[in-house]
């Protein structure tokens, strides 16, 4: 299981606005190259955000499904890579004075990630989550330049 947190120098409503904006997804989720909502329901529970991951010449398609949407403090997603692999991503948004504590908890649900889940996989996930939270903070903190 990978659990990370970050103090973001932005108010919780700003962080929540970024999380709810499907157009911001590829700006803070590490590895995501393209993402566009499948319909105008994002981020309602059950809504889908297709995405593409690009690593050098390799690309694969996946989708993220909203499982829990509890504004303004809890968003849970299921990221699917094909029919046989998925992960749960839980994001908590907690007020911290004039700033926001964001807690990210991700773990595999099914597929190879679940089968081969071990300390080395967790180490990579920890690195990825630190990078994701740093990007999320940057998008939220730079909000005066560009709206989500």
DSSP string, 48-116: EEEEEEEETTEEEEEEEEEEEEETTTEEEEEEESSSS-EEEEEEEEEEETTEEEEEEEEEEEESHHHHT
Residue 148 lies in a domain: no
- 74-133 pLDDT tens trace: 999 999 987 778 989 999 999 999 999 999 999 888 876 555 556 666 666 777 889 999
| pTM assigned to the model | 0.86
Residue 57 lies in a domain: yes
pLDDT value of residue 121: 64
pLDDT value of residue 145: 47
Least confident segment among 9-13, 45-49, 142-146: 142-146
Residue 95 lies in a domain: yes
Question: Containing domain of residue 85, as a range?
Answer: 2-141
CATH code, 30: 3.30.530.20
Residue 45 lies in a domain: yes
The residue behind tokens 């046989």 is 84
Residue 147 lies in a domain: no
Number of domains making up the chain: 1
Q: Is 101 exposed, middle or buried (0-12, 13-18, 19+ CB in 10 A)?
A: middle
**Mean pLDDT estimate for the chain:** 87
* Residues with Cβ within 8 Å of residue 124, at least 6 apart in sequence: none
């Amino acid at each position: 299981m990978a659990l990370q947190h970050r103090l973001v120098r932005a108010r919780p409503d700003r962080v929540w606005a970024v999380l709810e904006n499907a157009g911001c997804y590829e700006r803070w989720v590490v590895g995501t190259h393209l993402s566009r909502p499948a319909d105008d329901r994002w981020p309602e529970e059950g809504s889908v955000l297709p995405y593409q991951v690009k690593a050098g010449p390799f690309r694969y398609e996946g989708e993220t499904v909203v499982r829990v949407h509890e504004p303004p403090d809890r968003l849970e997603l299921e990221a699917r890579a094909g029919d046989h692999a998925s992960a749960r991503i839980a994001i908590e948004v907690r007020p911290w004075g004039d700033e926001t504590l964001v807690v990210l908890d991700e773990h595999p649900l099914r597929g190879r990630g679940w089968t081969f889940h071990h300390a080395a996989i967790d180490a990579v996930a920890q690195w990825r989550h630190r990078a994701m939270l740093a990007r999320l903070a940057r998008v939220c903190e730079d909000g005066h330049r560009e709206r989500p």
